[in-house]
Structure 1
């Protein structure tokens, strides 16, 4: 973060804008909207600045900038577009201790003006710290598209009921859950749809009825965090993280994904590595039940998809047996995410008619797949948690009839910045893993399609060389 985000209160305070063009007019208009008393200094003001002065929105001085113009101002903006004038404004403001922004000159500025989204009373600022203002505007446009036009009305509506809700619900946690039900339910939808009278009647009933006095009821979301790249996290997963009181997470969940959660959410690490379990599955189950019974919104955050070799089904069954309301939020499973990142199609006409996912290490090492079925030609096998048993897996497949020359790929840290893709043949899979010190998390892909990873690597090398860089 290149700057501390904050909002200035400028009601009735002096603000200076130096410049007479379109940029100056835009800044003056923004300052006036925030309640500031705006003074514009410009030797040759344009039509937009003249119009603001005629409307009484700003006070206009038709002359060159003078250092004395800074006196008494809470903020100054230089938009002259003339380097000498902008430098003079910056120097005078800094000498006087006045926050200053020079348009398109971050080196001369003590603060930046973000791209702004207004849904009064909400104001959202998007800033690149001066690095890429045009990109900040694009981000603003993307955010504006997902915010309802009447979002500000919903904020005003909730403000009108804050005192009543506080009086009816003493516990702060219960109040937060009450508001979450309001914002996620039909009351908020009625406000956003322009039906405020209907929303007010429903809100009064909610405050005075069972919704306000009911004991806290917990809820568990079993959420897939995807294969590693935070950009592959689903919108539903982000929503669950932002509402969670408690996050029970695994070792393979990246810190960037955890950062999507509320800052005050409790984080409970229950990560497990092969042969080094920090928590037993029974202990994890007990944590989920206890937190939910305490009235918490719990997210059980697991790498990949929780229902694909993630023991999500066991946790779901346990929670259901204890009467805990639970939802499943699917994630991008490692097989599809890592294969895509490595350029490997799991199925491909002429090469693979199907794909099977197996675990390299079954429950307590007891589960054994149907090797004869897996050894079919033109069939892709993806092995999860298979690094330690790679040589054994290869031997079993070859013994069942799979050609030792079948292409294989090992994808380590798939979808992440430190992803590594190794290719070879089935007969050498064990040596490929041990010889390159693969530690995982890693995925093994066995089948004719694995040869496509070599093509992907060759293309990346060619692209890097064409750009004058290095493929290393």
Structure 2
């Protein structure tokens, strides 16, 4: 049973003029007061005594003081409450009273009693970035805040202030959301931010006025980008792929594109699954073509997000031919294809000076595709086969290779869910390929690597669990020298 805590819902509260109760008058309470006062809250501190710093705030008229020990009526009219005493019983009483009145409460250093958490914050003018670990790892949140503090230039605050003040003019000039989004993308990548970084506020203002004065396009021009999502690990996305995912209006994605990749895309984009798998076409290829055309002609930026690489068994060529025939502008962003990623994450070099001088990418999803392959060439030694196929065809694949002379002792590695946390690698020899796969219930998505190099998975694996194998003797080449770069 999954016992992982649910994530907190991020929320920025407008506390201007609203009553916030802080119970406690010591150093811990003092740390909580400044951000509340900065947000314009009407802060009331309840405590028998105030330390010198808190008392100074009271003397300056910046806070109110309720003298004495906590009673539930202190919560009257409060929007938020912070319990910051060193007495557990008092903190529990505050939390219980707040819960009864449906008032959000933060009990310092007590995750269980708190109904909200105070995040680590980065401030750049009106721009705020909040980081939360759900209260479970505050030092991690602070560490990330410190990292971001060094990477986010102070000039971002000036830029944020400008955009806040000019929001109404921007909306009036660009009333339609797609048009306004394009304006911001062009503006933020242009000279306005550069001039602020250079300390030239007047130059930044002039650049902004120039950008705002440009005539909006008479009509939006839609585009399609074929983007390779890689095999599953979001860290394998290219920077260009990430940029396009954050600009997309519509994302047409394959079934096997994982949630980690989709989570990096723009949250308000329209996501349409168009996945296809053997014997179950959720959306036909013609249907995918029609969706690309429909959304591009409507002026939207479409990302056709494909697992692996669009041009390696991804039918990307067919989709570009369709777009070209209909006059739709397009681009292609390559991705890490499954053969490269699965081999790398399984510790299997596809080529090796001693074992494999070539590698072949093969697809064998059905009997018809098997019949089109050059089996005599595939059965040759000293080469690696990277086979994209349904696991149901393993027996036929094994039989045809053996019939054309490939050695029964040739090692294989089946990589299931390559590069993902649930990756499994199953190894064995060609003569037992389907039986070994069945013994370990290998399922799609899985890639077959066949050749002498597959034996190296036993010694070079580095990601996930150790390779699995059937309880039979498996031949591995000896000796296994260190891998050297090609001359």
How would you bin the TM-score normalised by the shorter chain? 0.7 to 0.9
Scaled by the length of structure 2, the TM-score of the pair is 0.81
Superposition pairs for residues 380-395 of structure 1, below 5 Å?
A: 380-395=384-399
- 1:55 deviates by 6.1
Aligned partners of 1:51, 1:318: CA distance in 2, in Å? 72
Q: Does 1:218 align with 2:200?
A: no
1:428–1:103 Cα change, 3 Å: same
Q: Does 1:104 align with 2:109?
A: yes
Structure 1 stretches of 5 or more lacking a match?
Answer: 463-472
Contact 2:421 2:464 in 1 (8 A): no
1:116–1:413 Cα change, 3 Å: same
Aligned partners of 2:29, 2:408: CA distance in 1, in Å? 72
- 1:186 deviates by 4.0
Aligned partners of 2:388, 2:191: CA distance in 1, in Å? 43
Q: 2:44 aligns with which of 33, 39, 42?
A: 39
Q: 2:285 aligns with which of 281, 288, 303?
A: 281
1:151–1:95 Cα change, 3 Å: same
Q: Does 1:310 align with 2:314?
A: yes
* RMSD over aligned Cα atoms: 3.5
Aligned partners of 2:316, 2:231: CA distance in 1, in Å? 16
**Partner of 1:467 in structure 2?**
none
Report the secondary structure of 1:108's partner residue: coil
Contact 1:20 1:49 in 2 (8 A): yes
Measured against aligned partners, the alpha-carbon deviations of 1:121-166 in whole angstroms (never above 9, x if no partner) come to 2223222332332333344445545544333332332334433333
Report the secondary structure of 2:12's partner residue: coil
**Partner of 2:132 in structure 1?**
127
Contact 2:389 2:446 in 1 (8 A): yes
1:102–1:288 Cα change, 3 Å: same
Contact 2:228 2:333 in 1 (8 A): yes
- 1:340 deviates by 3.6
**Partner of 2:246 in structure 1?**
242
Contact 2:85 2:91 in 1 (8 A): yes
Task: Please identify, of 284-293 and 30-39, the stretch whose mean Cα deviation from structure 2 is larger.
Answer: 284-293
Aligned partners of 2:376, 2:193: CA distance in 1, in Å? 57
- 1:45 deviates by 5.1
**Partner of 2:481 in structure 1?**
none
**Partner of 1:466 in structure 2?**
none
Contact 2:342 2:419 in 1 (8 A): yes
Contact 2:423 2:464 in 1 (8 A): no
Scaled by the length of structure 1, the TM-score of the pair is 0.83
**Partner of 1:300 in structure 2?**
304
Contact 2:231 2:337 in 1 (8 A): yes
Task: Please identify, of 197-206 and 437-446, the stretch whose mean Cα deviation from structure 2 is larger.
Answer: 197-206
Contact 2:458 2:466 in 1 (8 A): no
**Partner of 2:3 in structure 1?**
none
**Partner of 1:75 in structure 2?**
80
- 1:86 deviates by 1.8
1:269–1:95 Cα change, 3 Å: closer
Contact 1:386 1:444 in 2 (8 A): no
Measured against aligned partners, the alpha-carbon deviations of 1:2-57 in whole angstroms (never above 9, x if no partner) come to 44332222212332323344432221111111112323345565565456556654
Contact 1:42 1:62 in 2 (8 A): yes
**Partner of 1:342 in structure 2?**
346
Aligned partners of 2:280, 2:350: CA distance in 1, in Å? 31
- 1:300 deviates by 0.3
Bigger share in helix: 1
- 1:216 deviates by 0.6
- Across the two proteins, how many residue pairs are aligned to each other? 461
Contact 1:169 1:213 in 2 (8 A): no
Q: Does 1:19 align with 2:60?
A: no
- 1:308 deviates by 2.3
Aligned partners of 2:85, 2:188: CA distance in 1, in Å? 45
**Partner of 1:468 in structure 2?**
none
Report the secondary structure of 1:443's partner residue: strand
**Partner of 2:184 in structure 1?**
179
Aligned partners of 2:131, 2:463: CA distance in 1, in Å? 39
Contact 1:244 1:297 in 2 (8 A): yes
1:225–1:54 Cα change, 3 Å: farther
Aligned partners of 1:351, 1:51: CA distance in 2, in Å? 78
Superposition pairs for residues 401-440 of structure 1, below 5 Å?
A: 401-434=405-438, 436-440=440-444
Contact 1:360 1:387 in 2 (8 A): no
